[in-house]
Chains A and B, each alone.
Chain A
Amino acid sequence: MPQQSDTSPLSTLRPGESATIESLGGDLGLMRRLKALGLGRGQRIHLLRRAWMAGPLHVRVGMTELMLRRVDAIHIRITPRAA
Chain B
Amino acid sequence: MTMALVGMPNSGKSTFFNGLTGSHSPIGNWPGLTVELHQGSVQLEGRSVQLIDLPGIYDLHGLSEDEAIVRRFLETTPVDLLVLIINASQIDRQLRLALQVQQLGLPALLLLNMGDEAERFGVRINTEALSQRLCMPVLLISAKYSACFKTVELALAAALAKAGPPRRVEGLEERLGAGEAALEGRLAELLNQCVQLPERLRDQLTRRLDRLLLHPLLGLPLFFLAMFLMFQAIYALGVPLQQLLGQLLNGFGTAVLTPLLASAPAFVRGLLLEGLYQGIGTVAAFLPVIFLFFLAMAVVEDSGYLSRAAFLMDALMERLGLDGRSFVLSLMGFGCNVPAILGTRVMRSKGLRILTMLVIPFSLCSARLNVFLFMTAALFAPRQGAAVLFSLYLISFLAAILTALIFKGQFPSREPLLLELPPYRFPTIKQMLVRSWTEVRHFWFWSRKFIIFGVVAVWLLNNLPWGVAPASDQSLSGLLGSALQPLLQPIGINPKLTVALVFGFIAKEIVLGGLAVIYNQADMGQLGHALARDISWTQAYSFMLFTLLYTPCLSTVAVIRSESKRWGVTLLSVFWSLLLAWLVAFCFFQGSRLMGWA
B311 in contact with A58 (CB, 8 Å): yes
Q: Is A32 an interface residue (CB 8 A)?
A: yes
Complex-state Cα separation, A56 to B91, whole angstroms: 25
Looking at the complex, which one of B92, B311, B312, B314 makes contact with A38 (CB distance below 8 Å)? B92
Looking at the complex, which one of A40, A60, A61, A69 makes contact with B314 (CB distance below 8 Å)? A69
Q: Which residues between 42 and 58 of chain B lie within 8 Å of chain A, taking CB atoms?
A: 58
A67-B314 CB under 8 A given contacts A34-B418, A49-B214, A58-B421: yes
A40 in contact with B184 (CB, 8 Å): yes
Q: Which residues between 19 and 53 of chain A lie within 8 Å of chain B, taking CB atoms?
A: 26, 28-30, 32-38, 40-41, 48-49, 51-53
A65-B93 CB under 8 A given contacts A32-B62, A40-B184: no
- Across the two chains, which residue of chain A brings its CB closest to B198? A63
Q: Looking at chain B, what size class is its interface with the partner chain?
A: 35 or more
Complex-state Cα separation, A32 to B92, whole angstroms: 16
Complex-state Cα separation, A48 to B214, whole angstroms: 11
Q: Looking at chain A, what size class is its interface with the partner chain?
A: 20 to 34
- Across the two chains, which residue of chain A brings its CB closest to B121? A63
Smallest beta-carbon distance A33→chain B, Å? 6
A38 contacts which chain B residues (CB < 8 A)? Answer: 90, 92-93
A29-B418 CB under 8 A given contacts A35-B59, A36-B59, A63-B197: no
A33 contacts which chain B residues (CB < 8 A)? Answer: 58-59, 62, 64, 415-416, 418
A36-B62 CB under 8 A given contacts A63-B90, A63-B201, A66-B420: yes
- Across the two chains, which residue of chain A brings its CB closest to B211? A49
B421 in contact with A62 (CB, 8 Å): no
Complex-state Cα separation, A40 to B416, whole angstroms: 16
A82 contacts which chain B residues (CB < 8 A)? Answer: none
Q: Is B509 an interface residue (CB 8 A)?
A: no
A64 contacts which chain B residues (CB < 8 A)? Answer: 90, 92-93, 420
B121 in contact with A51 (CB, 8 Å): no
Given contacts A49-B216, A56-B417, A64-B420, 4 further A-B contacts (CB under 8 A): A32-B59, A41-B184, A55-B312, A55-B318
5 residue pairs, one from A and one from B, having the closest CB atoms: A55-B315, A38-B93, A29-B63, A36-B58, A36-B59
Identify the A interface with B (CB < 8 A): 26, 28-30, 32-38, 40-41, 48-49, 51-56, 58, 60-69, 72
25 contacts between A and B (CB under 8 A): A26-B416, A29-B416, A32-B59, A32-B61, A32-B62, A32-B63, A35-B59, A35-B96, A38-B92, A49-B214, A60-B201, A63-B93, A63-B121, A63-B197, A64-B90, A64-B92, A64-B420, A65-B206, A65-B420, A66-B420, A67-B419, A68-B419, A69-B318, A69-B416, A72-B416
